[in-house]
Amino acid sequence: MGSTKFTNPYAIEVIRTRRKELVGGISNTEDLLDLLVSNGVLLPENRVLVSSITAQEEKNSRMLSILVSRGERACRIFFYPCLKTAQPDLYQNMKTYVGQLNENIKDTRRQLIGYLLEKDRKGPIKKIQDTSRNPLNEGVEHKSKKTELHPSSDELKKSSAEPKESSNAIPKAVSTGDVPLLQELIRGININDRNVSSGTLLHLAAEHGQVPVINFLLCQGAKLDLRDGLGRTALHKASEMGHTAAVVALVRAGADIYATDQASKTPQHLAAQNGHENAVRMLVVEERRSFKNQTTFLHMAAVDDDSVLAEILLRNGASVDTRDGQRKTALFHAISRGNEKTAAVLLQAGAQVDSGIIEAAFELNRKPVLSLLLRNIKTAMSRNEVKSILFKAVQRNLDGIVAALIDSGADVNARNDLGYTPLLLAIELSNLEVFKVLISNKAQLDKRLPNQMSALHLAIQSGSMPITELLLDMGMDPNIIGPKERMPLHLSALHNQPALMALLLHKGAQINAVTQDGLTALHLASQSGHKEAVAQLLEGKADLHAQDRQARTALHWAAAQGDVGIIKLLLFAGSNANAVDKDRKTPLHLAAMAGHAQTVSTLLNAKAKFAAKDMDGCTALHYAARNGHVRVAAVLLTSGRNKNVNERNVWRRTPLHLAAEHGQELVVDLLLERRAKINAIDNNKDTPLHSACRAGHLGTVQKLVNWIHGEKVNFQATNNVMKTPLQVAEAEGTRNHQRITVLLKKKMFLIK
C-alpha cells in the first residue's frame, strides 16, 4: 500500500500494510489492551489470551490479527484513541503515513484514512454525508454527493417499493448470502440493532451458515457478543444449526466458545444435542489450540453429569485427562460429585485414577463410586497405595469400600507402619461393619500387634461387646496371653467392663489367673478403683486372699488407692484387714502412707491393728508423720489412745523424729500435743531437734524450741558423735542452717 494501487486506504488496510512496523514498535501492549477492552473493541477473554503470550512481538502480532478479524471499526478505534493514548510517537508515524496517502489520492468520492487527521482537529468532526448515518459502512464504496442528489432509476424504483418488501430485503440478502445486495441495503442502518427474538444480522447469518456474510458483517463492525432473546450469541446459532464453516469463522474472529445462554448452554452443548459432531469436533480443536489449563467442555460435562455430552466430546477428540486451573481432571469432578454416569464414560475412555481421585471418592463415601473406580482402573496402583487406601477405609468404617478393595486384590492381612492388620485396626476402633467384611474375607484372627496384643485383647480394650462375642464364637481362647502375660479378663478389669467380664467368665476365662507381676483381675480392678468390676469378680468368687509378687492382696491395693467403696466390698466379702505383704506392711500402712484418712478409719473399724509394724518396725503412724498426713495421724492416735505416739522403729526413731526430719510442722504440733517425748533419742542418740537441725527445717526447729507445755527441748543433748543440735546446724552451710544457728544461740543466751 505504499503507492496508490487502491483508492480506499481504510484502517484495516493500514494495519496490514504497516504490520511489521506496528508489531516491532508497540511496547506498551498491556496498556493498549486495556484501552481496547474499555472501548469495546476486544472482549476480556481476548485480552487474557493475548496477555498469556510471553514474547512481545508475538503478543503484538496476535492482537493485530484479532483486530483485523473484528473489522474496520475495531481497527479505526485501535488507531484513535487507543494507539494515540498508549503510543503517541507510533501514532504520529501512522498519521504521517496516512497524510501522504491523502495527498496522492485525488478522489473525493472515496472516504480516505484521513479519519486520523480529522480526529485531531478541534471541534466536532464533519463527516461525509453518507457515512454520518452509518459509521459502520467503511469498506463499502460510497456514492458521491452528486449521485446521492440525483438517484438512479433503479434507486427510484427501490424507494417506491412497499415498506414490507423493503424490510424483508435485508434478512433475505443475509440468509441467501447476497453480499453485494446487502452492501447496498445496510446503508444508514446500525447492523448491531437487535430484533427481540432473532437477534442481530450476525445471528441471522450464523443461523444460515453464510460465511461470506459473516465476514462482511464483522468487517463492518458487527459485535460477536450480542445476545438474542434466548441469551444466545451468533456462535450459539451456528453451532445449533451445525454450520461448521460458520463456527470456524466466528471462533477465529474471537467469539467466546464458553458463552452460556439463558439455559446455561454453551455453543458446544447445542452442537452436541443436535448431533452436529463436525461442529463439536471443531470446537474441541479450537479449545485444545487456544485454551490451556482452564475448565474445558469436558470438565463442564463432568460437573453437570452430562454423560451424553462427555461421550460425544471424547469421540470428537477431547482429551480425557486435561487438567483445569486447579490441576483437576474431569474424572475428579465427576467422582467428587458422585456423577457415576459421566465417571463411567470417562473411565471407559481411559481416564487416569490417582490418589487424589480415590480420596475424593472417600470424601463422598459412596460404595458404588469407588467400586466403579476399582473396576475401571487402567493404571496399576502400587501395593502401598492400595494398602493405604484400605486402611483409610477401615478407619472410617466404610465396609462397602473395604469389600470393593478386597475384591480388587487388596491384601486383607496387610500390615501398616504400626504393625496393625486391617482386622486389628477395625477391632481397636470398634468398627463392627468393617470387622464383619474382613472376617467374611478370611482375615486371620491369630495376627497380633508388635506388643503381642491379640484381636480379643483389642476387642476387650475397646469395650466392643458385639466384636468380643463374635471372636469368642469363632473359637478364640478367652485365656489367650498378651503383653505382660495379661489375659482378656485382666484387661476387662483394668478398663472396668463388668459385662465383658461376665461374658469372658461364661466362656471359661480363669478368674484367678495371674499376670507377669502376679496380679489377678481382682488386684487390677482394686488397684484401678473400678468398683463395678470388683463387684463382678467377687460375684464370680474371685480369691480375696490371692497375693501378687509383692505378697499384696486386693485389699492392699484398694487401701493404697483409697477407694472406700471397694474396701468395704472386700472387707464384707471376708478380706483380711491385717494381711501383710513382703515388707510386712498391712493395708493400714499403705492407706496411712497415701494419706487416706477415711480409708484408715474404715480399716480400723474392721479391726486393723494400729500398732502393727512392718519389717522396719514402722507403724502406720510413722508413715503418716513422715508424709505430713495430719488427719491420718490424728485418727491413728485417737484409735490408739495416744499410746502409739512414742512407738519406735528398728532405728529407735519415734514418729516425732520422722516428722521433725521431714519438716512436717503440723504433725510436730499434733504429736507434741499428744505427749510425744520431745527429747527421745534414736540409735544415734539424735533427738528430734538434732534431726530438724540437720535437715535445715527452720520452722520445725522453732516449733520444738518454743514448746512450753510439759518437757522442754534439751539444747545440750549430744548425740553419739558428741554434737549438740547447735553444732549439727553449724556444720551445714545453707542460709536456713545459719538462721537456725542464730535462733539456737539466742535461745541458749549465747548472743542477744
CA distances from 438 to 382, 435, 460 (A): 21, 5, 19
749, burial (CB in 10 Å: exposed 0-12, middle 13-18, buried 19+): exposed
Other beta carbons within 10 angstroms of residue 152's beta carbon come to: 10
- What is the amino acid identity at position 126? K
Q: What's the rounded Cα separation, in Å, for the pair 18 and 30?
A: 20
**Pairwise CA distance, residues 664 & 312, whole Å:** 91
Provide DSSP, 171-202. HHHHHHT-HHHHHHHTTTS-TT--BTTTB-HH
Please spell the DSSP secondary structure of 271-334, one letter per residue.
Answer: HHHTT-HHHHHHHHHHHHHH--SS--HHHHHHHHT-HHHHHHHHHTT--TT---TTS--HHHHH
Q: 3-state SS of 209-247?
A: CCHHHHHHHHHCCCCCCCCCCCCCCHHHHHHHHCCHHHH
Count other C-beta atoms under 10 Å from residue 459's C-beta. 27
What secondary structure letter does DSSP report for 80?
A: I
User: How deeply is 285 buried, as exposed, middle or buried, from its count of CB atoms within 10 A (0-12, 13-18, 19+)?
Assistant: middle
Q: Provide the phi-psi class of 397: left if phi over 0, else alpha when psi is between -120 and 50, else beta.
A: left
Please say whether the beta carbons of 505 and 488 come within 8 A: no
Angle of helix 56-69 versus helix 44-51 axis, rounded to 10:
150
Q: Which residues contact 708 (CB under 8 A, 6 or more apart)?
A: none
Distances (CA, A) of 162 to 132, 157, 176, 333: 26, 10, 21, 59
Torsions phi, psi for 264 (to 5 deg): 65, 30
Q: CA 379, 384, 390, 394: dihedral to nearest 10 degrees? A: -160
Residue 195 forms beta bridges with which residues? 199
Would you state the pLDDT for residue 187?
82
> Which of helix, strand or coil describes residue 63?
helix
Which residues of the chain, if any, have pLDDT below 70? 1-9, 101-167, 196-197, 290-293, 367, 377-381
Task: Output the nine-digit C-alpha cell for 385.
Answer: 497405595
User: d(Cα 714, Cα 671) in Å, to the nearest integer?
Assistant: 17
- For the chain, what is the radius of gyration of the CA atoms? 50
Name the grid cell of 261. 445462554
Report the first-to-last Cα separation within the chain, whole angstroms: 124
Question: Taking a C-beta distance cutoff of 8 angstroms, is the pair 478, 508 a contact?
Answer: yes
- Cell numbers for 698: 527452720
d(CA 276, CA 245): 12
Asked if 372 contacts 344 with a C-beta cutoff of 8 angstroms, the reply is yes
Q: Residue 81, preceding bond cis, omega within 30 degrees?
A: yes
User: In this structure, what C-alpha cell is assigned to residue 246?
Assistant: 460458520
What's the pLDDT score for residue 117? Answer: 47
Confirm if 583 and 615 have CB atoms less than 8 A apart. Answer: yes
Where on the phi/psi map is residue 204: left (φ > 0), alpha (ψ -120 to 50), or beta? Answer: alpha
Cβ atoms of 612 and 606 closer than 8 Å: no
